[in-house]
Chain A
């Protein structure tokens, strides 16, 4: 079940050679190390590189219908808890496939983020901080793009696969790290904008115009080269490299049986795309699954939503594991908050941040571990309470960073993670 690019097809090699023939200049020599055309090398490199997969359950998934079920209690709702591949750990019966991979997962059940507003909760879960008026903090994706990404990787450092909406760069996400590390949204899994050569422009003509551009640059830059002009001319080389990776954004390159394993609905296709991107060298991929804001009919909605979530998620973890990538890929399954233990009169659950759960897996995570505990009815954290700051420290530690370090912006030290929090050691490998 390897991606088609490694299946022996020669189309990539050809387009690469074609590109080199039309291009001039030293900057392109780095292409000889391009892992894309060398699967064996890719494999080797992937073992050393670390990457992150973030599954974002938009709207606020219920902890009671997922990671912290309370069957048979006033707040527990109609679903049972089922055993998992880890003796002693039970999760909600809506996640049967996920239960089978529990030995890869760690659960944090003592989360209290104290923020019941969607956008403010999302901010905490993306940045590990609460909002401040005069300070914007970068998303985890931007931080990882900065810390883990390599400058010669043409893939965006922080890719966000959304079910719908506008694609494009969301420059605010990167805050002080700069737009280079901002997220690039792929709406409904469509490739980034302008990745395709215009229909009327032949490949040969494209090469010729770039050759003309490169000659013009050489003359102009002979006596005026600066870091900025270098960055500008290099951006065209990177663009060309990304165009050559076009197929990574196309799940139709996968055999139909693989698409079926993931499921042909949005989330299934987007998980498969995430796998292709992570395998192809992406640093941080966020996949959004939406519709968890279940103020009405919480239980019906969770049957539907988790019915979509469960299999592709477990398949994705299995596939990453089979490829030897899971140990170097940090996986997080998060929301802006959980849902109230109290069931409202519309059979819904409302926003709830005081005692909820998330799941982690992969790089640096101790599979089968659990941190924290809520009380019998899930109305408060009973043991090992943590907040968004602790999570941020945990992610960074899992990736092998000292989370107490600083960024330096104009020589000003800025703690990467909230100095008042610390990693959750019990879920770290």
Chain B
């Protein structure tokens, strides 16, 4: 059975260009304004930009981006055969509402916020469940960040949110660096000792303004609670000197955001500074908490950096590159590739009250997102900042593991084994232990951002390791089992390509499958495993394209 590609409508952006900007900016939804801004940045955009992604290309991409895995062969068939002109919009909405999306975005946020630090104080499961339920409820980003920055870990109900502080040992320098990087998109690390030597905008005073929210806090093992929690003192002023300053002038600062005004601190009557006074072995709680000011001050629509950071990070998640790049070096000498677009996105996400789901939906609806990753005409490689061609995104360790489980039919097999009880949560509980070796092999080192790196140990892991090998062993309703039951090689090639690469094979590829099976006719099962492995190990599988 051959599947025909559904023709796409011409790019909307081109039609919109003819309209007057005033009308556009007043009326157009965000995704159209995104496309307009991207198109307007290049004179001959129409000529340079790639065609719209095919249905198959789009399907694989949106599944990976919103659910963290490729779709099953059955889902591919259904989508490619669906004649509805609205099927992409329908799919985006369905996926955004799915439990798989909540799980995936929670994992993305976990890796972003914790950077795979070991779980010493808060179990990973409790933290992930906190993030998952937050995403499932579409909790606004600002609220999530305020919760994370306000929990001290003492209350069981909010303890998971304290993981951000606790696993960093509440170390104020480490927290200052990571809060500036992850929530404000500005890496102030160098400013611990001096104004940034090469980034004019990053000042030592900015660093210590953030530091002053946190320097009174520390990690204590509270004997009564029998666990590590945050403790805070009622005093402790912040002073700093630049190591570059020969005069060694000492400056001081209270808590404030970079570029923000000094904050008013509540005066407390002498002798009544503490709700819980400091005693060795227990946490102290001041009547006025500087740390409690951080969340509301930082995670706010008034805070330009906070808006820009989340808009830029979600953009990068979907598009493969931040408008500001690297994601934590937002400053005036490193302007966004599309400054007005970033402003638009930042204002939009704040205006929609940091609704991440709604924002991701707009990104996914854009022509920019839905462009092919294949250059239309051969020639100079396009600038990645032009977004004329969709960028290749390496699968994260988690996406790779889940996609391999999907492609090899392990998920199908487990679903069948679970029968009526095959909920997303049940499948996750059964299968998530399989992800661990992938995180070990492909994950970022603890405390560092996830970056792509292709190493031979990883290739050995995929080529010779027990995990993938085991999944290619025939088992009822898994990939090799299904392929083994198909005698027509053309149909077999189609099942293989739909399952692994989310598309129908070309004539050339069908012939290759037939040839391979002819050469290997004596060991057909092994031949099927070897072909499936080859496609799983291909660049087409390794990247979200």
Contacts and interface: CB of A to CB of B under 8 A. Distances in A.
Interface of A: 133-136, 154, 156, 168-169, 171-172, 174-176, 178-180, 182, 184, 192-198, 200-201, 205, 208-210, 212-213, 215-217, 219-221, 223-224, 226, 228-229, 231-236, 238-239, 241-243, 410-412
B456 A178 contact: no
Q: Main SS of the interface on chain A?
A: helix
B456 A228 contact: no
Given A198-B469, A217-B538, A236-B456, 19 more contacts: A134-B192, A169-B440, A172-B445, A178-B451, A180-B453, A193-B457, A194-B463, A195-B460, A196-B464, A198-B464, A209-B530, A213-B535, A216-B540, A224-B545, A228-B543, A233-B539, A234-B454, A236-B463, A241-B456
Q: Is the interface of B mostly helix, strand, loop or mixed?
A: helix
Interface of B: 171, 173-174, 176-177, 189-190, 192, 198, 326, 329, 373-375, 378, 392, 394, 440-441, 443-448, 451-461, 463-465, 469, 506, 508-509, 512, 516, 519-520, 523, 526, 530-531, 533-535, 537-540, 542-543, 545
Given A182-B445, A194-B464, A221 B539 contact: yes
A208 B461 contact: no
B240 to A, nearest CB: 15
B457 A169 contact: yes
Contacts of A136: 447
Contact of A212 (B373, B446, B534, B542): B534
Contacts of B174: 133-134
A358 to B, nearest CB: 28
Given A133-B173, A205-B530, A209-B531, A194 B465 contact: yes
Contacts of B378: 223
B456 A238 contact: yes
Contact of A235 (B444, B445, B454, B526): B454
Contacts of B192: 134
B445 A208 contact: no
Contacts of A194: 457, 460-461, 463-465
A248 to B, nearest CB: 14
Contacts of A226: 392
Contacts of B457: 156, 169, 184, 192-194, 239
B503 to A, nearest CB: 11
Contact of A215 (B458, B464, B512): B512
B376 to A, nearest CB: 9
A395 B46 CA distance: 57
A15 B280 CA distance: 67
A205 B176 CA distance: 54
Going nearest first, the 5 A-B pairs with the smallest beta carbon separation are A171-B445, A212-B534, A209-B530, A239-B459, A213-B534
A412 B198 contact: yes
Contacts of A200: 526
Given A194-B461, A232-B542, A179 B445 contact: yes
Given A134-B177, A198-B464, A224-B373, A210 B534 contact: yes
9 contacts: A178-B451, A180-B455, A201-B530, A212-B516, A220-B545, A228-B394, A229-B543, A234-B454, A410-B326
Contacts of A168: 440
A192 B460 contact: yes
Contact of A412 (B190, B459, B519, B523): B190
Nearest to A243: B460
Contacts of A176: 448
Given A134-B174, A184-B457, A228-B452, A220 B540 contact: yes
B446 A172 contact: yes
Contacts of A235: 454-456, 458-459
Contacts of B198: 411-412
A115 B459 CA distance: 40
A217 B444 contact: no
Given A172-B445, A178-B451, A410-B329, A239 B463 contact: yes
Interface centre among B189, B190, B533 (most CB of A within 10 A): B533
Contacts of B460: 192-195, 239, 242-243
B363 to A, nearest CB: 21
B177 A195 contact: no
Contacts of A212: 512, 516, 530-531, 534-535
Contacts of A232: 394, 454, 539, 542-543
A138 B258 CA distance: 30
Contact of A236 (B443, B453, B537): B537
Contacts of A209: 530-531, 533-534
B464 to A, nearest CB: 4
A216 B445 contact: no
Given A179-B453, A209-B533, A217-B538, A229 B392 contact: yes
A150 to B, nearest CB: 14
A231 B454 contact: yes
Contacts of A224: 373-375, 392, 545
A216 B508 CA distance: 10
A198 B465 CA distance: 8
B375 A223 contact: yes
Contacts of A178: 451, 453
A174 B453 CA distance: 13
B459 A236 contact: yes
Contacts of A169: 440-441, 455, 457
B397 to A, nearest CB: 12
Contacts of B454: 228, 231-232, 234-235
Contacts of B530: 201, 205, 208-209, 212
Nearest to B176: A134
Nearest to A196: B464
Contacts of B456: 154, 235-236, 238-239, 241-242
Which of A208, A234, A242, A243 has the most chain B CB atoms closer than 10 A to its own CB? A208
Given A212-B516, A221-B539, A197 B531 contact: no
B516 A133 contact: no
Contacts of A193: 457, 460-461, 465
Given A180-B453, A180-B455, A216-B540, A228 B392 contact: yes
Which of B373, B447, B539 gathers most chain A CB within 10 Å?
B539
Contacts of B455: 169, 179-180, 235
Contacts of B190: 412
Nearest to B469: A198
A398 to B, nearest CB: 28
A224 B535 CA distance: 17
A136 B171 CA distance: 14
B516 A208 contact: yes
A134 B452 CA distance: 23
A298 B36 CA distance: 76
A391 B281 CA distance: 40
B364 to A, nearest CB: 21
Given A223-B378, A235-B459, A412-B190, A213 B538 contact: yes
Nearest to A192: B457
B173 A134 contact: yes
Contacts of B452: 228, 231
A224 B540 CA distance: 10
A298 B313 CA distance: 56
A420 to B, nearest CB: 12
B375 to A, nearest CB: 5
Between A135, A174, A232, the greatest number of chain B beta carbons within 10 A of the residue's beta carbon is seen for A232
B329 A216 contact: no
Contacts of A196: 464
A196 B329 CA distance: 43
A182 B443 CA distance: 13
Contacts of A184: 457
B283 to A, nearest CB: 21
A171 B444 contact: yes
A346 B198 CA distance: 56
B10 to A, nearest CB: 22
Nearest to A216: B538
Give the one of B189, B392, B454 with max A CB within 10 A: B454
